Amino acid sequence: MPRDYYETLGIQKGASPDEIKRAYRQMAKKYHPDVSTESKEVAEAKFKELSEAYEVLSDPDKRQTYDQYGHDGVKQQFSGGGGFSWNDFTHAEDVSDIFGDLFGNMFGGSGGRRGPVQRNSPSQGESLRYDLEVDLREVFHGKNVEISVPHTSTCPDCGGNGGKDGKVETCRQCNGQGQVQRVSRTPFGNMVSVSDCPECRGTGRTSKERCPKCRGSGHLNVTSKVTVNIPKGIEDGSRIRVPRAGDAGRNGGSPGDLIVVVHVRGAQDFKRDGADLWTTITTTYPRLVLGGEETISTIDGETISLAIPPGTQVGGVLRVLGKGLPKMNLGTRGNMFVRVMMDVPQKVSAEEKEILLRLDDSAGKKVKPKARGRKKYD
């Protein structure tokens, strides 16, 4: 038994005509055989099921009959002797409208409203991606990096049109449109498929002789040096756009851009958290207990003395203000956080052992407070 038409389109029984059309648009775009990820057989069956539901629910009379009598009430209205066929589908113009944005001018006849796309107009070249790796200290200082970028460039001999000495004429096969059309019949009317003209390869122009330098392509494969500015404090994964450093445009269009994706290598002695830096020092047990100082290096190579407060715990964190990374475009720096660990010697001398044992013995004793109360007299 066929599924409920409302359930097929995923709508409520009281849905408005606009809601019905919108639901069909969404579902049909998903299951149309030309775009569906399902097998062709599954997609065609699902698309036909959706179209049958739309045919009934979009027609007020058929919908009223269906709401009152169900499938038995409407199946007699189909020409297929009780079953829906594509001959019963009366909404080809709706399909043309629905799929206009998705397929361009695939649907011809009364529903087709768009002409072929002009391919010989100027168009911008493709943008390119370049992955650049820098280290943490380069992020601190900032720098200019020169990179080598392979890309296409407009042929200087023909000016990009592919003809010898730049001489070209309008393509006779496509009349300069750059595209050719092929018409085929479908249940929805004539379907017009559009493809690049094989004679001019989509340019709309041909030449009696091809440019010998680029072999008629209009482009050359080249490698150019590009200088990229790495600003101070740049984040990992940031993108830097270099205008007009991508592939050459077509038909006189401007080159595309170069997108440089920055990857920041971690440093062995520092971990990054935004503009803040984390590092670790190792000190002795007496300095943890009594306090003291340790010498530590910052990201900029400066050596500073770090005060260890008395009673610092193992794993405790000390903060050094303004010794992190620069904050991009702000002119200030983050902080440096120092985790304090303890150096435990693997071997000790006899004297050190004796001192440690006495320390351990005294640490385990607790002074009992004197009991208060009345004096006892004999």
How confident is the model at residue 103, as a pLDDT?
47
Q: Are residues 255 and 276 in the same domain?
A: no
* Candidate from 112-126, 188-202, 351-365 with smallest mean pLDDT: 112-126
Which residue, 285, 269, 271, 277, is CA-closest to 335?
Answer: 277
> Residue 346 sits in a domain of what CATH number?
2.60.260.20
Question: CB neighbours (10 Å) of residue 342?
Answer: 14
Asked whether the predicted pLDDT for residue 35 surpasses 70, the reply is no
Structure tokens at 17: 């005509």
Q: Are residues 129 and 78 in the same domain?
A: no
How confident is the model at residue 366, as a pLDDT?
55
Q: Are residues 133 and 31 in the same domain?
A: no
> Residue 27 sits in a domain of what CATH number?
1.10.287.110
Residue 205, domain member (yes or no): no
Q: What is the pTM of this model?
A: 0.56
pLDDT band, very low/low/confident/very high, at 147 (cuts 50, 70, 90): very high
Instruction: Select, from the ranges 126-135, 174-183, 245-254, the one with the highest average predicted confidence (pLDDT).
Output: 126-135
Counting the structural domains of the chain, the total is 3
Helical pair 60-69 and 40-57, crossing angle rounded to 10 deg: 100
The DSSP secondary structure of 146-169, one letter per residue, reads EEEEEEEEE-TTTTTS-BGGG--E
pLDDT band, very low/low/confident/very high, at 370 (cuts 50, 70, 90): low
Domain that holds residue 24: 5-90
Which residue, 309, 265, 271, 319, is CA-closest to 287?
Answer: 309
Tell me the CA distances in angstroms from 152 to 40, 44, 215, one per residue in order. 39, 42, 14
pLDDT tens-digit series, residues 299-321: 988 999 999 999 999 999 999 99
Look over the chain and give the mean of its residue pLDDT values, rounded to a whole number. 81
